[in-house]
Structure 1
Amino acid sequence: MVYQISLSETNPEKDISKLPILSTTEQQKLLIEWNHTQTDYPKQACIHQLFEAQVEKIPDAVALVFNEQQITYKDLNSRANQLAQYLQILGVGAEVLVGICVERSIEMVVGLLAILKAGGAFVPLDPAYPQERLAFMLSDTNVSVLLTQKDLVSKLPTHNASVICLDKNWDAIFQNSQDNLTTNVTAENLAYVMYTSGSTGTPKGVCVIHRGVVRLVKETNYAQLTDNEVILQLAPISFDASTLEIWGCLLNGGKLVIAPPHTPSLEELAQIIQHNQVTTLWLTAGLFHLIVDEKIEALKSLRQLLAGGDVLSVPHVQKFLQTVENCQLINGYGPTENTTFTCCYSITAPLQPGASIPIGRPIANTQVYILDDNHQQVAIAEVGELYIAGDGLARGYLNRPDLTAEKFISHSFDDNSPTRLYKTGDLARFLPDGNIEFLGRIDNQVKIRGFRIELGEIEREIAQHPEVRENVVLALQQETGEKQLVAYIVPHQHSSYTHNQLRSFLQQKLPNYMVPSAFVLLESMPLTANGKVDRHKLPAPSRERPQLEQAYIAPQTDLERQLAAILGDLLKIERVGIDDNFFDLGATSISILQVTARIQQELSIELPAVKLFQYSTIGALAKYLQLKQNSQPAYDKLQNRAQRQQAARSRRRHHQQGV
């Protein structure tokens, strides 16, 4: 393709890199036609105000379902108002940050809504996070009030906030008025601060305003969000998919079905979808692939399925399209900095072998630009960096003005009207039909189960271990299409380094989804001619049993051998001992769901995923299954409180936030 560049007669000294190289037709398409996404939505309204409008409209409609509990829009509004009044007494108002560390429950939604009604902004704190990470987030936000549950209080790090237990302190809260509150909060005020992985080695808090959320869920064009929808709330509130689930439902009059606090098995998830007649579901790419493989029948009742957070597998999409009728499959893309979704693509036509699935076009009230290194538009089909503009943009990063200025830039495409852009670091290109193809990252960032991860953050934590001299972390593609975090370790000479020791060290510092599932020991790093680590020459993880503290003990019974075979096959490990902890072998929440599905398929035993957190070795699991088959009611009664508490601790420790 040949481009003509005309030097301006009125400004002959202008930098040639700033001159447009696109034809007028291309500029019209890229700047105007493909970015014409404006809709008439309530851009001046706040989240809680739009919820209150639904309460006026449908007060007796069911708003929340949790296990056997139900609560109407009117009752949810009343409870949230009482808590909001209580929060205002404690000083919560506009721009005041309030921590919330709770398991999935009705109280969780009451807490989120109450914080917004009081005028504040919530800071979601995942109970599964290590104390060190929670301590950083509490310190960075300096929250003065923290909503939690009584069983979680002792698990929290030291802090200075006033604690409100949502399952304990209602006697005082119930004394307050049930009427809606009046605040001076506007659509420009903070709604929440959500933390993502940081390239500097510490998490960064993304500051999202009310308008960003409203733009996501009101008068939008990528999905049907109406009062007829039944939406499953499955994502942790520390993951921005929950923004779509919760507010996409409640601001449009739908019914929100809250999943249990533990990680449900595929069978349990299928039962929840079918029993509650869920119509709209959001899944990470990894969980979508797993359900398509193991429980695709459960998806047949859906009208809409949104999947994303990573690249979708074409074979899995093909299988879905061929099996599930009358359900719209939508590929969603977007960073937390642009409030959950930026682009969406409705997948309808059969896909050709070798095809990739586009991320589609910008959703309503969003603009997307693909620029070169000089911030100039690249031609259609040319590769550049994806930049985002529009009403979904976050305010910036909490307490990080330098990073905010680096990532949120002011740019003018016509020398007259500056536009605020977010620099994503993603490579992409426009296809001739106006859809966008995602082509990977510019930097060292990856996505695992929907979470953005800076590999440098993991490497910096590993480097803090006293036995480690050098390390590199890669995200390797597995046969299933999922990514696996692999850490390559060069220990100090004469050190007593073990993989198990390092894994335990990292579990105290990083969320579980950031802890590598495989470790490779090296004498030295392979180097390029320039002396840099040659990542292409790093070996794939071995199928051998990893180095563990406990000695290998072979399975003894038929059941133990069957379980070991299932786990070994899924984790790509040749030998699994009866005392080997599943998570020390590299199991994740996705592989745990795969294990439970395989056990049901091959052994005809229904096993909740939570049991693999409680009985996390072949030996313990085999004994449980044997006793369960012999006398399940009697055995269940024998489980003491200590065992149940240990199970809860294990679930929180190993819970994977992308599922």
Structure 2
Amino acid sequence: MSGAAHELADRLRAADVGPGDTVAIAVEYGHRLPVGVLAVLRARGTVLLIDPALPSAMITTRLTEASVAVLVTDAVTGPRLGEAVAAAGDRRPLVLEWSGRRTDGGEAGTSSGEPADPPRPLPGDPAYLVFTSGSTGRPNAVLVSHGAFAAMVSAHGTVLMESAAAGCERFALNNPASADAVYSDLVALAHGGTLVVAPPPVRRDPEALAGWIAATGVEVLDATPTQIAALLADGREAVLEGLRLLVLGGEAVPPALWTRLRELTGTRVLNMYGPTECTVDVMCADLSESGPEPVIGRPLPGSTLRILGADLREVAPGTPGQIAVSGPQLADGYLNNERLTAERFVTLPSGGDGVGSAEVSGERAYLTGDRGVREPDGVVRFLGRIDNQVQIGGNRVELGEVEAALGSAPRVGQCCVVALTEDDGTATLHAAVVLTGGGTGDDGGAGAGADGVAALVAALSATLAPHMVPRLHVWPSLPRAATGKTDTTAVRGRILASRQDTAAGAGPERESVEQSVARFWRELLGVETVAPEDDFFAIGGNSLRAVKFVLRVRRELGVEFPMTRFFAGSTLGGCARAIDAMRKETADA
């Protein structure tokens, strides 16, 4: 790995990459990802990891907004990125295709001698960029320095590698390339650990993930609560208990999941907390040492967390307020956005009555936008957001960005996006829309036509990541408050009422397989109508709800429908045909 990273770093330097130059890496998820990161850092460039599965328009935005100088890709992903690169116009980067093999024929993991290291990066040099959802409709690029990155590696080394994961050798590379948490997966390399790659199809399928964990002997897994809840829903407690350490992050842990994980035997479970702007994680809670309610714990070494009031002064324990983070892990700010950087990265005031406020004069802090409360014992509990930001499957989403994409889609006259909490504790996006040109429906778009709704979903899917595409509710008009603005509370209530009506309606005594599958989807996903061409994951499904669907098929239709077959064809029509065929095969056997 080191030899391959040196060689790629040499190629980058030959392309004039140096401090301040952004290098995007868009490769097949696997060994090339960590090797590419190490190579860019050694060349003193700034890393931007890009998930090749993102919509082409979103990739183009990242390339142009970050002023990418070089795009490192491979033979598999390169052709898929052609459209995105071309759309960057005169700002398109130099494309450098990389095979993952050394030019002398060696594999990426072999070494034939280490060349002399060039000058090392300075703490203030930029290390990597991560794009997060933006409230204005444009994503924000968070710039993290080498100093902040090194502070995170050191803190994780103390809390994880030298304590919770002490003695462990095999660590899962499980986090998506577009998430900042992938950098925490790479910490294992700095401590001599072995990274075992979990391929994307495995990460999405609980059954396959359980088999992969058992087959590879992975000891440490970093995952989102949604991913772990899907494993438990599929009855895979034994697989989790085979781990030495389970690390949760990316989203809040639902109380029911917290309770189940506290009951695991033989596996240590940590809940980590930290915004992208604070370099992955700054808080940690050990479930075995915590109470029955979810908490985010205490700060990692080097970081300081305060609960602030509206005047930015620290409030007393037991008083809710905004979570603010200080310390060496703070990012530099937002690329090309001085206004937002000044709003979120602030200097704490001196004096006042707040606890500890007098001693933090002039300290730089990041205002997370999260609400929290410090308990009497010093542990911090997360209370939600103070703005329109939500976590969907471990990904941060600004509702304003989704509304902006909806507003620019064809035929959308008005829209309102809300987040709802499901029975399983996960958050889902819903959008009430008013279509122009007639043909609007009411609570489900009956008059909008399946083709119109499908076209709108396709338009959104071309510009938004899958987890940002909301479930659509087509209405003749949106409710208004006395101020004349859209009444968000009324929108949320109306959607909830329509979902309850859907769940209360019993299916017919005799229905086709497609009708049964459609009914299951409506009840699991909270949508009013489902068309044969609708894809389960495009209309709000995730791995946890996929498990629940498969279990329901087994229970109510008597078909052992495997997850792998569902993931291979997840449209309503395709799924129904597959189940019907399996039903007939069973009957003929």
For normalisation by structure 1, the TM-score amounts to 0.75
C-alpha separation in 1, matches of 2:76 and 2:34: 18
Provide the residue aligned with 2:126 in structure 1: 190
Q: Give 3-state SS (helix, strand or coil) of 1:99's partner.
A: strand
Greater RCO structure (CA 8 Å; 6+ sep): 1
Give 3-state SS (helix, strand or coil) of 1:272's partner. Answer: helix
The residue that corresponds to 1:316 in the other structure is 257
Q: Deviations over 1:132-164 (max 9, x none)?
A: 111111011111211112232232211422222
Does structure 1 retain, via aligned residues, the 8 Å contact 2:55–2:465? Answer: yes
- Within the candidate set 278, 283, 287, 1:338 is matched to 278
Q: Number of aligned pairs?
A: 542
How far, CA to CA, are the matches of 1:483 and 1:131 in structure 2? 26
Tell me the equivalent position of 1:259.
198
Equivalent residue letter for 1:455: L
- On the 8 A contact 1:193/1:205 being kept in 2, the answer is yes
Pairwise CA distance, 1:570: 3.0
> Are positions 1:393 and 2:363 aligned together?
no
Deviation at 1:456, TM superposition (A): 0.7
Q: 1:505 aligns with which of 459, 478, 482?
A: 459
Match of 1:456 in 2: 400
Cα 1:568–1:445, aligned 2, differ >3 Å: closer, same or farther?
Answer: closer
The equivalences for 1:315-464 within 5 A come to: 315-322=256-263, 324-348=264-288, 351-352=291-292, 356-413=293-350, 414=358, 418-464=362-408
Letter in 2 for 1:367: T
Cα distance in 2 between the residues matched to 1:506 and 1:559: 29
Q: Distance in 1 between matches of 2:280 and 2:412?
A: 37
Aligned pair partner of 1:527 in 475, 480, 493: 480
Q: 1:389 touches 1:419 (CA, 8 Å); kept in 2?
A: yes
Contact 1:446 1:452 in 2 (8 A): yes
On the 8 A contact 1:445/1:455 being kept in 2, the answer is yes
- The RMSD of aligned alpha carbons is 3.1
Partner of 1:200: 136
State the match for 1:70 in structure 2: none
CA distance in 2, matches of 1:628, 1:297: 29
CA distance in 2, matches of 1:186, 1:276: 38
Unaligned runs of 5+ in 2: 351-357, 441-447, 503-507
Residue of structure 2 in register with 1:48 after alignment: none
Deviates more, 1:611-620 or 1:331-340: 611-620
Equivalent residues of 1:267, 1:597 under 8 A apart: no
Aligned partners of 1:264 and 1:608 also within 8 Å: no
Q: Distance in 2 between matches of 1:343 and 1:277?
A: 28
Distance 1:433 1:306 in 2: 23
Q: Is this contact kept in 2: 1:192–1:209, CA < 8 A?
A: yes
Instruction: State whether residues 469 and 538 of structure 2, in contact with CA within 8 Å, keep that contact through their aligned partners in structure 1.
Output: no
Cα shift at 1:625? 6.4
Per mean C-alpha deviation after superposition, the further-off stretch among 426-435 and 405-414 is 405-414
Q: Show the counterpart of 1:238.
A: 178
Counterparts of 1:286-305 in structure 2, within 5 Å, are: 286-294=226-234, 295-305=236-246
Return the alpha-carbon distance in structure 2 between the equivalents of residues 344 and 391 of structure 1.
17
SS of equivalent residue, structure 2 residue 76: helix
- Structure 1 residues 497-519: Cα deviation after superposition (integer angstroms, max 9, x where no partner): 63222211111111111110x21
CA distance in 2, matches of 1:419, 1:511: 36
Q: Secondary structure of 2:406's match?
A: helix
Deviation at 1:629, TM superposition (A): 10
| CA apart distance, 1:269 | 0.4
Q: CA deviation at 1:406?
A: 1.6
Aligned twin of 1:78: 3
Please state if 1:214 is matched with 2:146.
no
Would the aligned equivalents of 1:120 and 1:191 in 2 still touch at CA under 8 Å? Answer: yes
Structure 1 residues 412 and 505 mapped into 2: Cα distance closer, same or farther (>3 Å)? Answer: same
- Aligned-partner Cα distance in 2 for 1:124–1:137: 10
2-structure distance, mates of 1:176, 1:134: 36
CA distance in 2, matches of 1:619, 1:384: 49
Deviations 1:332-380 (A, max 9, x none): 111000011121111126855xxx3111111111011111222211111
CA distance in 1, matches of 2:510, 2:93: 52
Counterpart position of 1:125: 50
Work out the CA distance in 2 between the residues paired with 1:588 and 1:444: 22
Residue 283 (structure 1) shift:
1.6
Aligned residue identity for 1:99: A
Residue 435 of structure 2 corresponds to 491
2 CA distance for matches of 1:416 and 1:627? 67
- Residue 451 and residue 303 in structure 1: after superposition, are their counterparts in 2 closer, same or farther (change >3 A)? same
User: Whole-Å Cα distance in 1 between the matches of residues 149 and 327 of structure 2?
Assistant: 12
Distance (Å, rounded) in 1 between the aligned partners of 2:580 and 2:481? 54
- Displacement of 1:466 in angstroms is 4.0
Q: Deviations over 1:507-561 (max 9, x none)?
A: 1111111110x21222322223333322222212645999xxxxxxx99997656
Return the letter of the residue paired with 2:419.
A
2:18 corresponding residue in structure 1: 93
Residues in 1 aligned to 2:555 and 2:153: alpha-carbon distance in whole angstroms: 39
Using the TM superposition, give the Cα deviation of residue 239 of structure 1 relative to its aligned residue in structure 2, in angstroms: 0.3
How far is 1:289 from its partner? 1.9
Cα distance in 2, alignment partners of residues 140 and 173 from structure 1: 36
Q: Is the 8 A contact 2:155 2:300 kept in 1?
A: no
The change in CA–CA distance for 1:530 and 1:579 in structure 2 (over 3 A counts) is closer
Q: Which amino acid in the other structure matches residue 187 of structure 1?
A: P
Alignment of 1:471 with 2:415, yes or no, is yes
Question: Could you tell me which of 535, 540, 545 is aligned with 2:495?
Answer: 540
SS of equivalent to 1:111: helix
Identity %: 30
Q: CA deviation at 1:232?
A: 1.0
Q: Could you tell me how far apart the structure 2 residues matched to 1:531 and 1:462 are?
A: 21
CA distance in 2, matches of 1:259, 1:597: 24
Cα separation, 2, equivalents of 1:509 and 1:261: 21
Distance 1:601 1:282, change over 3 A: farther
Answer whether contact 2:370 2:385 (CA < 8 A) is retained: yes
Q: Give the counterpart letter for 1:245 in structure 2.
A: D
Question: What is the distance in 1 between the residues matched to 2:64 and 2:145?
Answer: 21
In 2: Cα distance, 1:331 partner to 1:595 partner: 28
The answer as to whether partners of 1:287 and 1:590 remain within 8 angstroms in 2 is yes
Q: Distance in 1 between matches of 2:269 and 2:192?
A: 22
Change (3 A) 1:181 1:606: farther
CA 116–134 in structure 1, closer or farther in 2 if over 3 Å, else same: same
User: Contact (CA 8 Å) 2:28, 2:76: kept in 1 or not?
Assistant: no
Q: Partners in 2 of 1:574 and 1:500 — Cα distance?
A: 14
Flag the 1:479–1:417 CA change in 2: closer, same or farther, 3 A: closer
How far residue 297 of structure 1 moved from its aligned partner, in angstroms, is: 1.8
**1:545·1:576 contact (CA, 8 Å) conserved in 2?**
no
Shift of 1:209: 1.6
Distance 1:618 1:415 in 2: 60
CA contact (8 A) 1:226 1:254 kept: no
Match of 2:78, SS state, is helix
Amino acid at match of 1:330: L
Moved more, 537-546 or 479-488: 537-546
Secondary structure of 2:226's aligned partner: helix
When residues 264 and 478 of structure 1 are mapped into structure 2, their CA distance, relative to the original with a 3 A threshold, is closer
